[in-house]
Structure 1
Amino acid sequence: MFFSFHLVLSIIIPALIVISVFITFKWFLFTSNPQKNQPPSPGKLPIIGNLHQLGLNPHRSLQTITKKHGPLVLIQLGSVPVLVVSSAETACEILKTHDLVFASRPKLTIPDTLTYGSKDIAFSPYGEYWRQVRSIAVLQLLSSKRVQSFREVREQETQVMIDIIGKRCGSVIDLGELLNSLTNNVICRVALGRTYEGVKFNDLLVRFTYLLGSFSVGNYIRWLSWVDRLSGLVARTKKVAQEFDEFLEGVLEEHINKKRTVDGDGNGNEKDQDLVDILLDIQSEKNTNFVLHRDVIKAAIMDLFAAGTDTTSTAIEWAISELIRHPRVMKKLQKEVKEIAHGKPIITEDDLAKMKYLQAVLKEALRLHTPLPLLISRESTQDVKLMGYDISAGTQVIVNAWAIGRDPTRWVEPERFHPERFLNNPIDYKGLNFEFIPFGAGRRGCPAIQFAIVVNELALANLVYKYDFALPEEVNGEELDMTEITGLTLHRKSPLLVVATPHLD
């Protein structure tokens, strides 16, 4: 949400601070409400509130604020009150106890433009429409049976990646780029029926995910919406939305024409159906009260790319980064994978359930490098009493899942990469343990956890089974730069450049 907004803020903040000097007293007098017991708040400036305190890495800046003021803090972003949640206890209050009150989404300009007026699952406001589209996703697209049906796709694309690395052994490779290609290809085949490779398509996906994490001034200071137009943000967003729409229109027409060539009732082999086929079948059903319009289908597909590509590849990339920095953990994981594989040429999904240390490694990587460090914002739909505080309707909520995963009151040595903490430990990422919520929790938790995790596990298991990884120019693994760059997704700032050699132990 806050990616690359520093340039915009560098333009407007100096002018706003000058203005604020003249109206400070009046503004604070107007906004004070002594009758309400509000959560603690840091000092704020008129007009911009606490915008200037977010910095380039908002998850870290907000962690600093909550360390000083407590795990439940009310900040002001422009004219919008925002509740910052940074502990398991406060997350439980938001995502479980008062989940219904905080189940909606604020209307944000960029996601709204990119998702056909927030017709997708992730950004649509809470209500009957959201319940219908989420039900379709959970029952038809992301059920255990459906996820299992795409096993062959995941295994084939993983083999493709392993083969590419094999051909480049001894050379420097950008492992992050290969992982991104893996997840893109899996999602394309599962959702669209085939891969869509090429510079143009990859560039579109990069711009799409970049914009989803961009900061729009107009969302928080409406009378400064012109800044978004002046900076070109509005134009870039509309351009990407148009390009993606043209691409998806082509995909839909391709599928509709394909359906016309199958047997008379329009139903082909269910095994060969991709997610667009399934959605078109639902659209054609007569006995449903919910009309699946064309834009809804396209918005659902966009969700899969937004949630299923960038976050998944990034999670694997961070896991490999930590393994390179911690040779002991790498050797222990390779030993487990080798013992379970029994000399097979490749790890299959049948093997994954037995790999307890692999699961622990991935959990630890997700804890330290939560793909969405700040879960997608929520918004209260009514006044509510929360932990003794009065929270007004219309208050946005940011859950700092990254900070919660590093809370020293919940985790021993929280900054240390130590997968053993998850062995013989019931803590899981399915939204029931609020000290560990990389996929969120409650009604708005990620419905695609099962699909994402099996891609993560399969890719990581095969990478460490087949190869050893070292940094170029014999640089020690402990020296690997782990600097972050924040958008909607938490990325490595520098590419993960490695030299792969066949693993022979």
Structure 2
Amino acid sequence: MSLLLPTWIVTITTRIILIPVLVLVVYLISNEVVRWSRRIRGLSGPPGLPLVGNLLDINKSYTAEIYRQWSLEYGPVYQVQLGNSTVVIVNAAEDAKTLFLNQTSSLISRPLFHIFHKLVSKDVASIGTSPWNESCKNRRKAAAASLNRPKVQSYEPLILRETADFIGDLVAESKSGVNDVDFAAAIQRLALNTVMTLNYGIRIANMTTMKHESFYGEIIEVENEISRLRSTSKNLTNYIPLLQFLEPIFWRKSSAHAADIGNRRIRYNDELLHRLKDAMAKGVDRPCIQGNVLRDPEALGLSNNELLSISLSMMAGADSVQPTIGWIFLLLAHRGDIQKRAFEEFKNVVKDGYSLHETQDVEYILLLVKEALRFYSPLPLSMPRESTTELHYKGTIIPKGTMVFLNAWACNHDPALFAEPWEFRPERWQDVGLEKHAHQFAFGYGSRMCIATHLATRLIYTVLYHTVANFELQPARDATPEEWDAVKGLKDPTALNASPKASKARFVDRHLSFQAELN
């Protein structure tokens, strides 16, 4: 009996195997032609792999630092290929000025990402992630009116209230420095409460409410997941069309999860807006940003989705506040010299008694906040831009529709702008010379800079001011010397925000001795 299969079976089997292989080979070859055609003439850049380009390189460690290191080899402005997308990376302050400031109108828009815009935010996107159009312009104008410096000053009582509760949480947890305090939860409550109060006039009563109330737990869970899905480094499907084609077959649950996250975010923001409107109808609402927008005659034309977009932007604002406060706490715990200087400067200013219900301006603490935002760069890669017209850079034409990343981390450590950039030195911002007037890249540059800059800075300052007044920070018992290091201490090197891995310190109460010294 022959073991040979009939010829027709062999033929069919061969075709079943070979046809998909041939199709894949043809696709890969044609895709490489497309990728090659999209490279920008005149810009160098690191070599990449077929199909994925440089995606695997930037997922190995701290993405922004990899981009900075490549700039030492390929120049301050170069191109990378993330899958099929050609992206220009800007790593130096002077070149950032050339592109983001001098050609600001050409870099006013945002690119659309498959995961975030088509799955998570298919119905509505925040102001910060929206492409530039008339609607985005109107939304940004309405939000900016509620976030300018005078308005932020009017929010001071709200910020002080949240800060007082925050200090109270630390006092209760620390037991006068006996316990190591995991301050991450308290910072998260502070940020969420501040955002909700300022945006909707609604706040969480206390830590217990946040732990046990499912509604607030839902907000925390979804906002954390939104931050992950916004990452420009780890979501490979954004850049590889083949993965988008195969997604419904192999990653259906993943795409359904992203869409569900977006729907859940809309639901709880709708609920918060409904509560605010109900309070306004009854005349019992608290002053807040959404209330101001709803009462602003120029904002009456905004649709429900546009109002929701403003809310989404406010909720996303915690992405820079939370990590910055965490880094500062770790820094102070390990840098006794800086903490001592901050407390001494505090005492020199606050001579008439300390109160949790007011905040005075202490220059050194203001400089400390500014230096922390520079040194740690909480959003190391500023929100990506997309060119709306051709860009010109040293004889090179960057085509319309090109994605451009501002590497805020690299610009904030540019030795041409900052002397000894890897040293944490608050005094640099008061020295006579270039540094004193240098741009601080933590909130972006040029058009589409974060409109909540004043609010975020004031909140961080207020928290630091009252923390320095009430506590001496010491390292936790299981602390490591590297936990305050801006690179080695990172929790997730490819995340949207640069959050510290460590979240514990000892908060030793010094209120009584402080009062005695004042009196």
Specify the TM-score bucket, using the shorter chain as the normaliser: 0.7 to 0.9
Aligned pair partner of 1:131 in 123, 129, 137: 137
Structure 1 334/217 Cα, relative in aligned 2: closer, same or farther at 3 Å? Answer: same
- After TM superposition, the structure 1 = structure 2 runs for residues 106-125 of structure 1, keeping only pairs within 5 Å, are 106-112=111-117, 113-115=119-121, 117-125=123-131
TM-score between the two structures when normalised by the length of structure 2: 0.83
Q: Which one-letter code corresponds to 1:187 in the other structure? A: V
Q: Which residue of 2 aligns with 1:222?
A: 241
Give yes or no for contact 2:42–2:396 (8 Å, CA) kept in 1: yes
Give SS of 1:492's match. Answer: coil
Distance 1:374 1:228 in 2: 27
Q: Which residue of 2 aligns with 1:53?
A: 57
5+ long unaligned stretches in structure 2: 1-22, 205-209, 515-519
Per the TM alignment, residue 166 of structure 1 is displaced from its structure 2 partner at its CA by: 1.6
Q: Which one-letter code corresponds to 1:250 in the other structure? A: E
Distance 1:469 1:227 in 2: 51
Aligned pair partner of 1:206 in 214, 219, 224: 224
Distance 1:38 1:48 in 2: 22
> Does residue 103 of the first structure (1) align with residue 124 of the second (2)?
no
> Does residue 303 of the first structure (1) align with residue 317 of the second (2)?
no
Give yes or no for contact 1:180–1:310 (8 Å, CA) kept in 2: no
Distance 1:446 1:34 in 2: 30
Please, which moves more after superposition, 309-318 or 442-451? 309-318
Q: Which one-letter code corresponds to 1:365 in the other structure? A: A
Distance 1:27 1:474 in 2: 51
Aligned pair partner of 1:65 in 63, 70, 73: 70
Q: Which residue of 1 aligns with 2:273?
A: 252
Q: Which one-letter code corresponds to 1:300 in the other structure? A: I
- After TM superposition, the structure 1 = structure 2 runs for residues 283-362 of structure 1, keeping only pairs within 5 Å, are 285=297, 291-307=301-317, 309-342=318-351, 344-346=353-355, 350-352=359-361, 355-362=362-369
Give yes or no for contact 1:103–1:378 (8 Å, CA) kept in 2: yes
Give yes or no for contact 2:124–2:305 (8 Å, CA) kept in 1: no
Distance 2:39 2:156 in 1: 58
Distance 1:461 1:188 in 2: 22
Distance 1:44 1:391 in 2: 20
Give yes or no for contact 2:152–2:454 (8 Å, CA) kept in 1: yes
> Does residue 233 of the first structure (1) align with residue 254 of the second (2)?
yes
Aligned pair partner of 2:185 in 177, 180, 203: 177
Q: Which one-letter code corresponds to 1:336 in the other structure? A: E
Please, which moves more after superposition, 380-389 or 443-452? 380-389
Per the TM alignment, residue 152 of structure 1 is displaced from its structure 2 partner at its CA by: 0.7
Give yes or no for contact 1:348–1:458 (8 Å, CA) kept in 2: no
- After TM superposition, the structure 1 = structure 2 runs for residues 376-455 of structure 1, keeping only pairs within 5 Å, are 376-424=383-431, 433-434=438-439, 436-455=440-459
Q: Which one-letter code corresponds to 1:233 in the other structure? A: S
Per the TM alignment, residue 479 of structure 1 is displaced from its structure 2 partner at its CA by: 6.6
Please, which moves more after superposition, 360-369 or 410-419? 410-419
> Does residue 492 of the first structure (1) align with residue 511 of the second (2)?
no
- Please list the CA deviations of residues 103-161 of structure 1 after superposition, one character each: whole Å capped at 9, or x if unmatched: 1111113432444545431011122222111111112x212332122111110111111
Give yes or no for contact 2:43–2:396 (8 Å, CA) kept in 1: yes
Structure 1 335/40 Cα, relative in aligned 2: closer, same or farther at 3 Å? Answer: same
Per the TM alignment, residue 221 of structure 1 is displaced from its structure 2 partner at its CA by: 1.4
Q: Which one-letter code corresponds to 1:483 in the other structure? A: G
Distance 1:82 1:171 in 2: 47
Give yes or no for contact 2:28–2:51 (8 Å, CA) kept in 1: no
Q: Which has the larger radius of gyration?
A: 2
Give yes or no for contact 1:374–1:402 (8 Å, CA) kept in 2: yes
Structure 1 27/185 Cα, relative in aligned 2: closer, same or farther at 3 Å? Answer: closer
Instruction: Quote the RMSD (CA, aligned, Å).
Output: 2.9
Q: Which residue of 2 aligns with 1:364?
A: 371
Please, which moves more after superposition, 99-108 or 34-43? 34-43
Give yes or no for contact 1:111–1:118 (8 Å, CA) kept in 2: no
> Does residue 153 of the first structure (1) align with residue 158 of the second (2)?
yes
Per the TM alignment, residue 299 of structure 1 is displaced from its structure 2 partner at its CA by: 1.6
Aligned pair partner of 2:147 in 133, 142, 146: 142
Give SS of 1:100's match. Answer: helix
Give SS of 2:397's match. Answer: strand
- Please list the CA deviations of residues 53-85 of structure 1 after superposition, one character each: whole Å capped at 9, or x if unmatched: 212321011112111110000111111110000
Give yes or no for contact 1:217–1:227 (8 Å, CA) kept in 2: no
Q: Which one-letter code corresponds to 2:182 in the other structure? A: D
Q: Which residue of 1 aligns with 2:16?
A: none
Per the TM alignment, residue 201 of structure 1 is displaced from its structure 2 partner at its CA by: 3.2
Q: Which one-letter code corresponds to 1:53 in the other structure? A: D
Give yes or no for contact 1:471–1:477 (8 Å, CA) kept in 2: no
Aligned pair partner of 1:375 in 377, 382, 397: 382
Per the TM alignment, residue 279 of structure 1 is displaced from its structure 2 partner at its CA by: 2.9
> Does residue 279 of the first structure (1) align with residue 286 of the second (2)?
no
Structure 1 380/290 Cα, relative in aligned 2: closer, same or farther at 3 Å? Answer: farther
Give yes or no for contact 2:472–2:507 (8 Å, CA) kept in 1: yes
Please, which moves more after superposition, 468-477 or 399-408? 468-477
Structure 1 236/451 Cα, relative in aligned 2: closer, same or farther at 3 Å? Answer: same
Distance 1:183 1:54 in 2: 30
Structure 1 52/395 Cα, relative in aligned 2: closer, same or farther at 3 Å? Answer: same
Give SS of 1:328's match. Answer: helix
Give SS of 1:473's match. Answer: coil
Percent same amino acid among aligned pairs? Answer: 22
Distance 1:392 1:476 in 2: 47
5+ long unaligned stretches in structure 1: 1-18, 263-267
Distance 2:400 2:231 in 1: 25
Per the TM alignment, residue 405 of structure 1 is displaced from its structure 2 partner at its CA by: 1.2
Give yes or no for contact 1:38–1:391 (8 Å, CA) kept in 2: no
Give yes or no for contact 1:326–1:478 (8 Å, CA) kept in 2: no
Give SS of 1:469's match. Answer: strand
